Amino acid sequence: MRVLVTGGAGFIGANFVLRTLATRPDVSIRVLDKLTYAANPETLAPVADRVELIEGDIADAALVHRLVSEADLVVHFAAESHNDNSLADPSAFVHTNLVGTYTLLEAVRAHQVRYHHISTDEVYGDLDLDDPARFTEHTAYNPSSPYSSTKAGSDLLVRAWVRSFGVAATISNCSNNYGPYQHIEKFIPRQITNVLSGERPKLYGDGRNVRDWIHVDDHNDAVWTIIDQGRIGETYLIGADGEVDNRTVVETILELLDQPTDAFDFVTDRPGHDRRYAIDSTRLRTELGWQPNYNDFRAGLAATIDWYRDNTDWWQPAKDAVEQKYAATERVTG
Ligand code: NAD
Ligand code: TDX
């Protein structure tokens, strides 16, 4: 099977490529990636002889049509993915997440290629801390940020291309991922690499916001489960019952790195900051039989810390620039 993976040099896409190569000998992989600031081609360097990495834009129709016509399956990870960046400048989010997805959909429609669309639980907006509800496939879309609204729009394009044009697509909306190769602008790797660099972790607002954490390998196993067994046109929510508030995450990182658990700063809150995400993944579990393998968040976090400690060459070159960007707007509040 010839698989075209968009965004395969980013965090989740690269983990998908590495895991697929390790577990599926029948699959050949091509990666289409623009190699933006978020990509790290080093991640794929060890498998360079087994993966063709094509540098290009998913909104480049001619390139996309050629690559899609030569594939049996497209798995679409490429996106502008960071909420904070989308608040500073939404333009790349509209281009990549909306125009890029549209371009891919037109190509899979023309060449009748199976398509799996990677999306996020953020399309559903947020929940109150004390709300017993969790997101399901039936929750109404209510995105908050330029990032999540462009992801919501991309999901709706997929649904329309399924219904109007008969495109053979599935969609998955996953909760917050953690694990190796995640860009250090994101919450968990930012705090781990802060502590490893002698800096204090930075908590937005009151630190009580809740995210529903899942290990990236569990996410990618679920993606293959949906590709193999999912019903065309359906949406599946992916989550591992991993709700934790941000302060607890930071305290656990500090404890695992032998630091005092109060050695962090509260900083300026993110505008429009979603309070809580929570996924009900019953459909995926009961209809398709998927289950997460990482059920102990603390153990998964410890393994992730070990990975960043053992792979300083992978992240250190980007650290100063990332922190300078945050410092331009972030103020310590407590
Ligand atoms: P990432 O930012 O680490 O990687 C994105 C990749 O896409 C990068 O390699 C980048 O170079 C590439 N890219 C960006 N614009 C492109 C373009 N125009 N053409 C081609 N390539 C382009 O993101 P990630 O965290 O790995 O997220 C991957 C996907 O998973 C995204 O669709 C995201 O919305 C979704 N998702 C992420 C999470 C999470 O917790 N990180 C959770 C749920 C869903
Ligand atoms: O320094 C920080 N301090 C902090 O308190 C950063 C970078 C974040 N935070 C908070 C904001 C969120 O409540 O931590 C939480 C997680 O933040 P991010 O890592 O930026 O993730 P989030 O905004 O939840 O979005 C992520 O999950 C859903 C991904 O970036 C998205 O691509 C995905 O769709």
pLDDT at residue number 129: 98
Quote the pLDDT of residue 48: 97
Instruction: Select which of 121, 217, 274, 280 is catalytic.
Output: 121
pLDDT of residue 170: 98
pLDDT on residue 266: 98
Which pLDDT band holds residue 202 (cuts at 50, 70, 90)?
Answer: very high
CB 276 within 8 A of CB 210: yes
Residue 297: φ, ψ to 5°:
-60, -40
The vertex-324 CA angle with 269 and 194, nearest 5°, equals 75
Give the span between the Cα atoms of 9 and 52, in whole angstroms: 11
- Determine phi and psi for 188, rounding to 5 degrees: -65, -50
Over residues 138-164, the mean pLDDT reads 98
List pLDDT tens digits, range 205-253: 999 999 999 999 999 999 999 999 999 999 999 999 999 999 999 999 9
What is the pLDDT confidence band of residue 288, given thresholds at 50, 70 and 90?
very high
258 Rama sector, left if φ>0, alpha if ψ -120 to 50, beta otherwise: left
Q: Report domain extents, the chain.
A: 2-178+215-238
Give the CATH number of domain 2-178+215-238; options: 1.10.10.10, 3.30.70.980, 3.40.50.720, 3.40.109.10: 3.40.50.720
93/290 Cα distance (integer angstroms): 31
Q: Is 122 a catalytic residue?
A: yes
State residue 101's pLDDT score: 99
What lies within 8 Å, CB to CB, of 95 at 6+ separation is 59
- To the question of pTM greater than 0.90 for the whole model, the response is yes
| C-alpha 176 to ligand 2 mean position (Å) | 8
86 lines ligand 2 (CB under 6 A): no
Give the pLDDT band of residue 171 (cuts 50, 70, 90).
very high
pLDDT confidence of 276, banded at 50, 70, 90?
very high
Centroid of ligand 2 to alpha carbon of 33 (angstroms): 23
The string of DSSP codes covering 39-54 is --GGGGGGGTTTEEEE
At residue 322, the pLDDT reads: 98
**Phi-psi map region of 292: left, alpha, beta (phi>0 left; psi -120 to 50 alpha):** beta
Q: What is the mean pLDDT of the chain?
A: 98
* Residues 6 or more apart in contact with residue 298 via CB below 8 angstroms: 252, 256
ipTM: 0.99
125 C-alpha to ligand 2 centroid (Å): 14
Residue 115: per-residue pLDDT: 99
Distances (CA, A) of 216 to 170, 174, 292: 19, 10, 10
Share of the chain above pLDDT 70, in %: 100
Give the Cα separation of 35 and 56 in Å (integer). Answer: 8
Share of the chain above pLDDT 90, in %: 100
